[in-house]
Structure formats: structure tokens, C-alpha cells
Structure 1
Amino acid sequence: MVDKARPRQQQILKLLLEKKAGLSIDEVATALDISRNAVQQHFIVLERDGYIQPGVLNKTAGRPVRSFILTEAGINSFPKQYAWFSELMLTDMKNEIGSEAFQRYLHRLGSNLSQTLLPQFEGKQTNERIEALLKVMDSLGFDARIITDPDRNEPTIEARNCIYHDLAQKHEEICEFDRTLISSLLDKNIDHVECMAKGGAVCCFKIINK
């Protein structure tokens, strides 16, 4: 949700969540017992940050009144339980098909994703593929970079963020998705030498130049 340092804006968003058709500045001011000017200032910030947007223009006996509604970002600012639901599904799947089949499924998932991304990598040399891979990983949230050992000439992909850390701690098979994706896009074998889900400081994937 919006920064906890701005409780009034949280209240406004909650009102708009309850009133999907939207509320006017005056309606929000009345509901929260604050001035119209204060609501306007909060609306400026919320609209700037993408949480609300102008809704319909309601015609009244007096001047037309503009309502404001939540954007998708505004709706998504409220707490969600994606991790809990994912854990529920993955645990059930693993119990149903077993650990080995579960890992094969994640391998297939990583392979399928790599096929959709391969056009970005075709015809490129290894260094160019690595750069393209880093962009893909960063877009997914891995915060990745390349580390090179000058003595062994074995570059390593280092990811400083595990995007499903809690899930990977409970289901280590999930790492197979990363290994398959990286290996497929680079067209290289890799060695998963460090894993955050197993207590590592980062996730490291050494590229094997063979």
C-alpha cells in the first residue's frame, strides 16, 4: 500500500476501494472530515504517483463535479497474497506428482520461456548473449551482473535478488527454472555454485566454456 508515512492517503485509497464508481473531492472531504483543499493536495500526489485517475464528470443542478477512481496501480497497492497462494499450489503439485516430476516440470517451464526469448539471442556471440541475458534477468527483478575470473576465464552470472526466495527455500526444485532458462539462452552449460535459498549471499551461475 502507499507509504505508511502517509496515512491520510491510505484512507483516501480505502474509500475509493469501497466506492468503485468513484468519489468527488467534496465527498472525500466530508467522509474524512478534512478540508477540500487538503483533499485536493492529496489527490495531486496520488494522481501523480499513478494511484488514482479522473472518473466521470457528474452533472448536477450546479457546476459539474468530477469523480476520481482507483487505477490498477491503486488497486494493486493493497495487500495481496501471491506468495501464499503460490506456495499452496506448488505444495499441492509437488505432493501430487513427486519431487522428481516437479523438477522436470520446472525444467520444462524454463525451457518454454527460453523459446519465447531466443529470437533476442540468435546470431549473437557469447558476450552479447550474456548482456542480453542480464537485461532479461533485470527485467524479472534478479538484479544480475557478470563477474569474471581473470585466471580461469569462466564468467559467472551473479544475481543479488532471488525473486521467489521464500518459495525456493521450501521447494529447492524451483531453482531448476533459473538454471534451465540461463543455460538455454546462453546455449552453454552452467554450474549453480551458490544459492540464496540455501544460505548463500547471492545466487551464482558459473558459465562453463566447453
Structure 2
Amino acid sequence: MKAIAKRTAMFAVACLMITGTAAASLPEKEVQAASGYTGYIKSATTSLKRSKSKKSKTLARIKKGKKVTVYYTSGSWRKISYKGKKGFVPKKRVKISTKAPKLKGSKKTKGKTVASFAKRFVGNPYRWGGTNLNTGADCSGFTKAVYRSFGYNIPRTSSSQRRAGKKVSYKKEQPGDLICYSGHVAIYIGGGKIVHASSRKTGIKISPKANYRKVVSVRRIVR
């Protein structure tokens, strides 16, 4: 029983969110990608709608397993294209591909690739103890899963991730770096912003200020 209690406490600390600071970290609702990225219809045949409404015109019917191009997630909808038609389907109907692009170029360029990939999953759920980019992840589960997609095996908890990779100064942070807080971790995406699995209420989101809480460490993972 003591061992179980210890593990439970560890996970609770791993993604603790301080209520007083959450308001300063409002989520970005849409993360658009001009060229799009791969997704798959993961449930029964679904309707491609002209707008974000069940009552809007149906542009196509898409069967389970069909490949689509995803552009962004907005609320409970994803904008996609299928056979040349662009429209919206319920977010829960589309699984985002976790196949990451190859890392090329300088460390900075590689980091930007990691950050761009991580943003694909904005709008997906937070799940305590989870490590799945589609069905749910907690803060350190999210960062681990993102880097795992690129072949990097970083530690599981936020506290252990503070020792991963190479330590860099916060003033020299680059996209793709881990931003570590007490009991939390995120991925820096540039422009002072982070993407992270924040809470059950907001899920995976982008926050406009990486320093919305005290930063205890910045770690560079890409080599």
C-alpha cells in the first residue's frame, strides 16, 4: 500500500498545476498549418461539413480508416481536406498521425521541427498518467511522446526530465527545448510561447508566456 501511495503522489506532483497561475496562460484556440499533416478517420463513416456545425451542408461522407489532411483543431472540430474538398469534422473522429518528419539541418532547425510537430496535437485531451498524443497524456507524458516520435528516449516524469539532454540558459532557449517548472514541463515553440498538456479542463494547448511560472531549467534534447 505504501508503494502504491508513493507512485500516486509522484504522478500527482509530475503534472501539478498551480491554480493561481493558470489564468495567465490562456490557450490558443487554433494552430494552423498551411500544408497540413496526416490524419485518419478513426470511427464510423463521418460527414465532412462546410462549417463548424452539425447543421451545415455535408460536402462528403468519409469512411473509417480513410486518410485525410488536417489543418488545425478549433474547439470540438478539425479542419481537414479529403479528395480536394475542405471542411470540418468532429475532433473526436480524427486521429492525428504520430509519424514524425525526419530531423535535418542545425540543432535550431531540428528544434523547430519538433515544436511544429508538437503543435499538431493541440486540442487533444489531458489524461493523468497518459502518454498517448491522441487519446491523452499528462505534461511529461506529452513531452516524452513527442520526443519518442523522433527516436529520443527521455525520462518519464517532469522532475527527471529536468536532467535530460543538455542544460541551456533560459535567455538562449530555442524551439523544441524543454521548459521545466516545479512539477510541470512544456515544449518551447518560439515567440515566448510553449505547448503543453496543461490540465483536464484545457487539454493540450499553447500558452503565450513560457515564464508564466518560475522556470527552473531549460533542457535541449536534439543533437
Q: TM-score range by the shorter chain?
A: under 0.3
**Of the two, which has the highest radius of gyration?**
1
More helix by share: 1
Structure with bigger RCO (C-alpha 8 Å, 6+ apart): 2
